[in-house]
A and B are shown apart, each in its own frame.
Chain A
Amino acid sequence: GENVEQHPSTLSVQEGDSAVIKCTYSDSASNYFPWYKQELGKRPQLIIDIRSNVGEKKDQRIAVTLNKTAKHFSLHITETQPEDSAVYFCAASIMNRDDKIIFGKGTRLHILP
């Protein structure tokens, strides 16, 4: 089955700097890659997603890139702010096949003042 690896497990960046989180997946048939943000004590919430027919997607300070050949995708957060501190999860799934969304183990992002 699908396996999603995520790194780093912990990331600290100065406020205003950029943060990058990277994930790899194992099943080349995977075609949908969402990212979820989980603030302390709260539920995970979708922040951005990308489908395999595009290589990059942006939403304000957040962007995701996808390299299908290498089977990896990344989350980029620019001009980081204190409210970006959270755990971020990448995920992968195969639309129109088994509908399972498999998550990476998460990255705890600390924004330093």
Chain B
Amino acid sequence: DAGVIQSPRHEVTEMGQEVTLRCKPISGHDYLFWYRQTMMRGLELLIYFNNNVPIDDSGMPEDRFSAKMPNASFSTLKIQPSEPRDSAVYFCASSWTGTHSPLHFGNGTRLTVT
């Protein structure tokens, strides 16, 4: 198994532009999580899905952020419009049965908004 695959690895964009981050979970995993990592705030849970359905998006910072999971093998996190304070590493993670099993993280996307 290739593990959780995220793209792109690095994204540099200008303030105001739309950014789309992509994630392919491990096949068979029915939970998918999006986390944001910064030095100040650590690993923050943004949103998670169970069987492609969003369960809790209370961590999404504001309306500029949206996430979708159109099928079991693909999810996107979109920021529109992007702002410099969105600069962070964004991780996608998947697991078999939510908290019953380990989270498998992707390599992350390092986003820089100038």
Contact = CB atoms under 8 A, between A and B. Distances in A.
Contacts of B44: 103
Contacts of A93: 99
B42 A99 contact: no
Nearest to B38: A105
A95 interface: yes
Decide if the interface of chain B is mainly helix, strand, loop or mixed: strand
A101 B106 contact: no
Contact of A99 (B35, B41, B58, B99): B99
A45 interface: yes
B43 A89 contact: yes
A55 B105 CA distance: 27
A104 B41 CA distance: 9
Interface residues of A, number: 23
Contact of B50 (A1, A95, A99): A99
Nearest to A103: B43
Minimum-distance CB pairs A-B, first 8: A99-B98, A105-B42, A43-B105, A46-B102, A103-B43, A93-B99, A95-B99, A99-B99
Interface of A: 1, 32, 34, 36, 42-46, 49, 89, 93-95, 98-106
22 contacts: A1-B58, A42-B107, A43-B106, A43-B107, A44-B43, A44-B103, A45-B105, A46-B103, A89-B42, A89-B43, A93-B99, A94-B99, A95-B98, A95-B99, A98-B56, A99-B50, A99-B99, A100-B48, A101-B33, A101-B99, A101-B103, A103-B43
Given A1-B58, A44-B43, 11 more contacts: A32-B100, A34-B102, A44-B91, A44-B103, A94-B99, A99-B31, A99-B48, A99-B55, A99-B98, A103-B42, A103-B44
